[in-house]
């Protein structure tokens, strides 16, 4: 498939506020994303059927009432559940960034779709919002979004209050869940240091197929070196975050 024919839907509305940056990250690679209000998608779910990629951007959906991403997840589940299930079973791609990641987890699509939830995202260890750039490592995984970054240490911005990944059960159960995710190649990004208390320093996970990615860092805010906070290193070069979107697009070119 020619990338000009790849259809990307970027959700907006209800407190989502990173839709423009996320859409631009796709647009810079030759696709024409459509920013769509969640209510418009609910009223016309066939738009999801026609799409190849669904992006859930960052923000503060519903003001993070009763937990970040919780109400957005419920709205998606009860209004678009059937369409989303078909979308996933058709092998299409989803990326959830920050609040979008939180929604995917609470929707039950990560780390394993359509199974009992075994992971959540809760308040940072520090008990407050964090806004900074962090170093991340990219382990070998099945994630199609990060497959051009394996083995690298990259720098991306984070800005969240509830980014601490926690697994269900006692320590033995938590260790078992982590080992399972590791063995199945679902750990997509890890913090180089303990940034927020996230279990095993995990910053992003994919589903077992590698097509659904949720991550707390904001790659859409690092698509150009001009956005890097290190003033002396600024240039017009493409930023490392751009490679994540390019990888998703390349997957669509090859598989659809």
Tokens of 230: 């290190």
Q: Is the Cβ–Cβ distance between 13 and 38 less than 8 Å?
A: yes
Helix (H, G, I), strand (E, B) or coil at 63: helix
Kindly name the residue from 98, 143, 160, 246 that is annotated as catalytic. Answer: 98
Helix/strand number for the chain, H first, E second: 7, 11
Active site includes 98? yes
- Cα separation, 28 vs 18, in Å, equals 16
Kindly name the residue from 18, 218, 246, 252 that is annotated as catalytic. Answer: 218
Helix (H, G, I), strand (E, B) or coil at 229: coil
Active site includes 18? no
Helix (H, G, I), strand (E, B) or coil at 15: coil
- Cα separation, 175 vs 32, in Å, equals 42
Active site includes 218? yes
Q: Is the Cβ–Cβ distance between 3 and 15 less than 8 Å?
A: no
Give the active site residues: 98, 218, 220
């Amino acid at each position: 498939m020619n990338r000009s024919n790849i259809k990307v839907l970027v959700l907006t509305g209800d407190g989502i506020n990173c839709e423009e940056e996320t859409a631009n990250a796709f647009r810079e690679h030759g696709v024409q994303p459509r920013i769509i209000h969640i209510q418009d998608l609910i009223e016309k779910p066939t738009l999801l059927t026609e799409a190849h990629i669904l992006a859930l951007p960052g923000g503060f959906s519903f003001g993070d009432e009763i937990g970040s991403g919780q109400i957005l997840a419920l709205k998606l589940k009860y209004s678009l559940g059937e369409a989303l299930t078909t979308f996933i079973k058709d092998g299409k791609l989803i990326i959830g960034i920050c609040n979008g990641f939180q929604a995917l987890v609470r929707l039950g699509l990560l780390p394993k779709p359509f199974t009992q939830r075994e992971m959540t995202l809760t308040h940072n260890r520090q008990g407050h919002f964090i806004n900074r750039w962090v170093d991340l490592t990219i382990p070998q995984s099945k994630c199609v979004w990060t497959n051009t970054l394996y083995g690298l240490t990259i720098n991306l911005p984070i800005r969240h209050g509830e980014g601490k990944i926690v697994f269900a059960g006692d320590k033995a159960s938590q260790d078992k869940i982590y080992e399972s995710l590791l063995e199945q190649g679902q750990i997509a990004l890890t913090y180089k240091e303990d940034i927020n208390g996230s279990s095993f320093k995990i910053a992003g996970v994919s589903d077992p197929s590698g097509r659904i990615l949720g991550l707390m860092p904001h790659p859409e805010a690092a698509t150009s070196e001009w956005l890097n906070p290190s003033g002396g290193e600024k240039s017009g070069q493409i930023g490392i975050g751009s490679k994540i979107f390019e990888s998703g697009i390349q997957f669509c070119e090859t598989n659809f």
